[in-house]
Structure 1
Amino acid sequence: MRIIGLMSGTSHDAIDAAACDLWAEGDDLVLRPRGMISVPYAPSLRARLIAALPPRETTMQEVCRLDADIGRAFAEVAVQARSELCDGAADLVVSHGQTMFHDVRDGAVHGTLQLGQPAWIAEATGSTVVADLRSRDVAAGGQGAPLVSLVDALWLAGRDAAVVNLGGIANATLLRPGADPVAFDTGPANALIDAAVAEATGGERRYDEDGRLAAGGTVDDALLAMLLAEPYYALPAPKTTGKELFHADYLADRLSGRVRPRLEDLVATLTALTARTVADAVRGRELVVVSGGGTRNPALMGMLRAQLPGASVATSDDLGLPSAAKEALAFAVLGALTVHGLPGTLPSCTGARRASVLGAILPGQTTPPRILEAAPARLRVLPSA
């Protein structure tokens, strides 16, 4: 089965499309990556998207228009990926969409909203599309995140390991032989760093490129201690968070009444916050595998390794799964499980009452081939095609 996975993460800067071939060999699900493209949002669309995010207010008219416009943007990227990565044909497209709101109240998730109307993707590609992957887990009492935990558990089955994604928000899947996996959002990865850089530069820069600002700064220990007092970090798993909590206004509120550090020191402190909260979440595992945009920040990776002296810290690239494409490929796997009627969640990771078949299916012009008769026991990743 040839699949395209589509997503845009909590940094909402681009639409990622990762393609793969997927097939079964015994109890193994075998994945061969076919490459990835990342297409930045048009500046006007990204500006509208940001303007609609909490804590700002928006209108139903704008939500409707964003749903259609993001859907068309995803469809264009899917068509490009089909041409460039899939020899012009894909059996299945799996779209995570763009998360706009994750409704967390008193530790429970009451709803989740991803925009990017999948009908545009189905119409543009002719492929079967799986979308809206989080809602079913939420309806079953789960957090709706981190959904990639099932893929992590299949990929590193039998290992004493933690799998971490450093996007806007950081999430971790904790694995130990003989124990049920556990997964949760650890807190901000790049979200607060990006907010600080964008605010200080008037939006001219959106992130700390190559970690240069953090590398040129000094951690403010008092500010770090105050940020670490955030109640979210002490909550038990399963738990999830997002930019509903960790956004620019959150940072401004924490800095209010303090002598504002110079930008380099603030970014160094926020980078240390990410490293510390991630390390606290995964401490004690022999292997820590990191993916996502944060892997391209040497300052962050250096701080994380310093916090975990007893662990082997690797990127998912080191284990054969392209870091930048990992989440899109994980959603491709979840979509394949969906079209086979197989669950895509682990209740121990999301807190749901039971495992659920995820998402909604929009039929294409052809039916995806059937490759699975039962849930796989492992995910095996081969070198890229």
Structure 2
Amino acid sequence: MRVIGLMSGTSYDAIDAAAADLRIEGDRIILTPLGLLSREYSESLRAELASSLPPAATTLEQVCRLDTGIGQAFAGLAEQAVEQLCGGHADLIVSHGQTVFHWVEEGQVHGTLQLGQPAWIAEATGTTVVSDLRSRDVAAGGQGAPLVSIFDVLWLRGRSGTPVALNLGGIANITVVPSSEPIAFDTGPANALIDAVVRELTGGRSTFDADGVMAGRGRVHPELLERLLAEPYYGRPAPKSTGKELFHLGYLATAMTGLPEIAPDDLVATVTALTARTVADAVHAYGGTEVIAAGGGIRNPALMHLLAQELRGIPLRSTDELGLPSAAKEAYAFAVLGFLTVNGLAGTVPSCTGARHASVLGSITPGLGALPIAAPPERVPVALHIE
């Protein structure tokens, strides 16, 4: 089955479309990558999205406009992916949409909202769309995140030691794959605070710390780092999830209250160090023996250098070294989730999300032809192989 996964993460810098041939052979899912396309949001849509996200107030009119605008943006990239990556035909499109709110109170997720109306994708491409992949896990008592954990478990199970899959997006999350039950959770901010600080300090001229230049020039402010590390979220038991509802510019401003003025580069260096420390602490806490990283954060040399130092000898490598393009990992993971859905297979690992049971995920928006729904295979896949 030829499947396209569409993804925009919490950094909301661009939409990724990854295409793959997916099939089940025995107890394995075989994934053959077909390529990746990325497209930035238009400046106007990005600005509207940024102005509507927590802690900003918004209106139902803005939500409706965003749902339509994001859906149309996803549809435009999906059309391009069908033509350029799939030779004019895809069997299924899986859209994560854009997370705009993740409702967490005292560690319990009560709801999650991803915008990007899938009808625009189905109409533009004529292809069936699976979307809204997080809500079913939340309804089953889970965190709805990190949903990539089933991909990580299928892919990394069987490696020696205790491999840890790491995603450095706006929020950092890990999946720990020991010989016993796996576990997954958001460790805290990855690029969320770094990007917010850079955007504020440059007046919007830069939206991220390109090549880690600012962090590399700066020095970590010990007292601010200590205050940030005192955040109660880090001490909560897994599974757990978080988002920009907690880690935003106002949160950082509160932590800086009463401190003398901090130089811009030092501020960026400090929040970069926060990401490295909290990720490494989580890896150490669960006995990780190697870290396999993906996401935009791996393109930040300063962050990766600090993380390697904090890991204290635990090997740090990218998914590229294992045959999976790091820039496309999450999009491929959601392609696999939608593939599981149309095969009647659960897309969650309860020990990773905290749900009462595993669930078949998502809602289906029909395309122009027959629904690509298959009977569940005779054997439930227990491994993922990348060709």
Would the TM-score normalized by the shorter structure come out above 0.5? yes
Structure 1, unmatched stretches of 5+, are none
Matched, 1:376 2:346: no
> Which amino acid in 2 is paired with 1:136?
R
2:293 maps to 290
1:228 maps to 229
Please give the per-residue CA displacement for 1:245-304, whole angstroms capped at 9, x wherever unaligned: 001111111122211211111111111100000001112311110000011011111111
Matched, 1:161 2:163: yes
The two structures have a TM-score, normalised by structure 2, of: 0.97
Matched, 1:269 2:270: yes
1:65 maps to 65
Greater shift in the superposed pair: 217-226 or 132-141: 217-226
Give the count of matched residue pairs.
Answer: 381
The two structures have a TM-score, normalised by structure 1, of: 0.97
Matched, 1:341 2:354: no
Report the 3-state secondary structure (helix = DSSP H, G, I; strand = E; otherwise coil) of the residue aligned with 2:173: strand
> Which amino acid in 2 is paired with 1:261?
I
Q: CA deviation at 1:371?
A: 8.8
Matched, 1:219 2:220: yes
Q: CA deviation at 1:353?
A: 0.5
Q: CA deviation at 1:3?
A: 0.6
**Structure 2 CA distance for aligned equivalents of residues 204 and 258 of structure 1:** 26
> Which amino acid in 2 is paired with 1:149?
S
Matched, 1:86 2:91: no
Q: Work out whether residues 17 and 81 of structure 2, in 8 Å CA contact, stay in contact via their aligned partners in 1.
A: yes
**372 and 87 in structure 1: CA distance in 2 versus 1, 3 angstrom threshold:** farther
Alignment of 1:1-385 (within 5 A): 1-159=1-159, 160-177=162-179, 179-283=180-284, 284-366=287-369, 367-368=371-372, 370=374, 373=377, 374-382=379-387
**371 and 81 in structure 1: CA distance in 2 versus 1, 3 angstrom threshold:** farther
Q: Work out whether residues 24 and 372 of structure 1, in 8 Å CA contact, stay in contact via their aligned partners in 2.
A: no
Greater shift in the superposed pair: 358-367 or 343-352: 358-367
**Structure 2 CA distance for aligned equivalents of residues 326 and 372 of structure 1:** 25
Please give the per-residue CA displacement for 1:69-126, whole angstroms capped at 9, x wherever unaligned: 1101100010011111111111000000000000001110000000000011011111
Report the 3-state secondary structure (helix = DSSP H, G, I; strand = E; otherwise coil) of the residue aligned with 2:326: coil
Please give the per-residue CA displacement for 1:217-272, whole angstroms capped at 9, x wherever unaligned: 11112211111001100000010000000011111111222112111111111111
> Which amino acid in 2 is paired with 1:174?
V
**Structure 2 CA distance for aligned equivalents of residues 34 and 359 of structure 1:** 24
RMSD in angstroms over aligned alpha carbons? 1.1
Greater shift in the superposed pair: 368-377 or 272-281: 368-377
**Structure 1 CA distance for aligned equivalents of residues 102 and 340 of structure 2:** 24
Q: Work out whether residues 91 and 369 of structure 1, in 8 Å CA contact, stay in contact via their aligned partners in 2.
A: no
> Which amino acid in 2 is paired with 1:378?
A
Q: Work out whether residues 169 and 188 of structure 1, in 8 Å CA contact, stay in contact via their aligned partners in 2.
A: yes
Report the 3-state secondary structure (helix = DSSP H, G, I; strand = E; otherwise coil) of the residue aligned with 2:208: coil
**Structure 2 CA distance for aligned equivalents of residues 81 and 248 of structure 1:** 35
Q: Work out whether residues 10 and 99 of structure 1, in 8 Å CA contact, stay in contact via their aligned partners in 2.
A: yes
